[in-house]
Structure 1
């Protein structure tokens, strides 16, 4: 893949990096609050007998170079069996393997100067009720001395699919895309369908969403605005689905389907996910990188 990159805007890089990192942090704070509110509101149905879940917040750091972040994980909640909402801001020098991968994607100047900076939010939620879909979302900015770009997206991963839930989630993603470019939704939906495919299983890991990377149109403000729109679309896309399904009864068959589906999710993240590979190769906290893995899964 060739990265869509261009020269940095003159004189603005540090301010832009600070602005992006602060916004990713604010989005993390709002999502954490919304998820804890879901826990408080779940007072009937499966799981309601449990204490309302709360996030455990842990600072993270990198073994190499500088920066770190915040790992926020909730386990054993009423609604969320496990959910992580992580924020990071890291910088340093890419290790040879990561440097080679970036150069292969067409990022200019990587061979001569492997310095980088990156910030973003990454979220994965595994639900207690099998009727409620698991979900992933992330948005990020990446910078090198020669280029900058944005990436991210969100995809829905139900063990038990409801057509109306899939339609709602995609409609929210499309609305976010259409406000910025009429071609974004079709392009980024197709990219998600390709990216979140599990070749060795011959199937997708879920019902899709949008995915984009290497976004640099030459207009930093426009690309950052689109990335914010993707992040802002997440709660309206996901929370109504949880509210529809969290009180729905389920039995052993539904739980079995959920655990098997989680196995697919774990396989994808460990074998194919580019973010997992990058985080581990650049020395970020392994627990934060692997927080996406489900608490329980099953293979048959």
Structure 2
């Protein structure tokens, strides 16, 4: 006599997470459709930039009478008179002042912060943790409280109103975040690589140059983009520490607004010239930027 056995229950996947609404929508759309949506969102994000360009290429009378989107039906309204007026007003000197301030600041911050971050991450010295806590604490120090003391110091040493003075201020206040960011990235580098290099007799500077710095390119590129944009678009430090000869584009545009009031053609052309360089930089290094943003998020 045989006994009947109950059928085995169907396996359940109690531990499998359920897909949310957004996840199910993404699965239904598929990769191709999702890419199309992302491209459309990117183009929508560029609409204000396109509008600024169109406004800068038309006369003030036309801009006051029509919206910028009418340029597609009236391309004959395009003119470069606003750019000619802007360049004639001495804006070119302000552009090169911005370059002279932004590029050295970005290079110095990256170089100094990378070396300091390597020391905090992989070199053992007395007071390392205390110094790093001090660096982290400097992140919450507002720039405004240092404006007057630094201005007094600059006046005493004779660099107030000069480009080196503006660069030094940006470097000093850019280093805490840069060191914090790069140190956290460098800690994630496998220690076996560094120990193998030390066993081969490589000095610390060689380990930093040939191993740590190349592996840190995503984070360094992200830091470079951040630092470049911060300094390029800064106006507070320029208003305090730069004079007429050393003023960047932000201060020059502010003075143009005070001089000409609502002179939209001059302001729009100047704003687009100050915008185009960071935009090109971001698109050129966006791959490294995304890698740097995701670095360290998954262990």
- Interval containing the TM-score (normalised by the shorter chain): under 0.3
Bigger proportion of residues as strand: 1
Bigger proportion of residues as helix: 2
Between the two structures, name the one with larger relative contact order (CA 8 Å, sep ≥ 6).
2
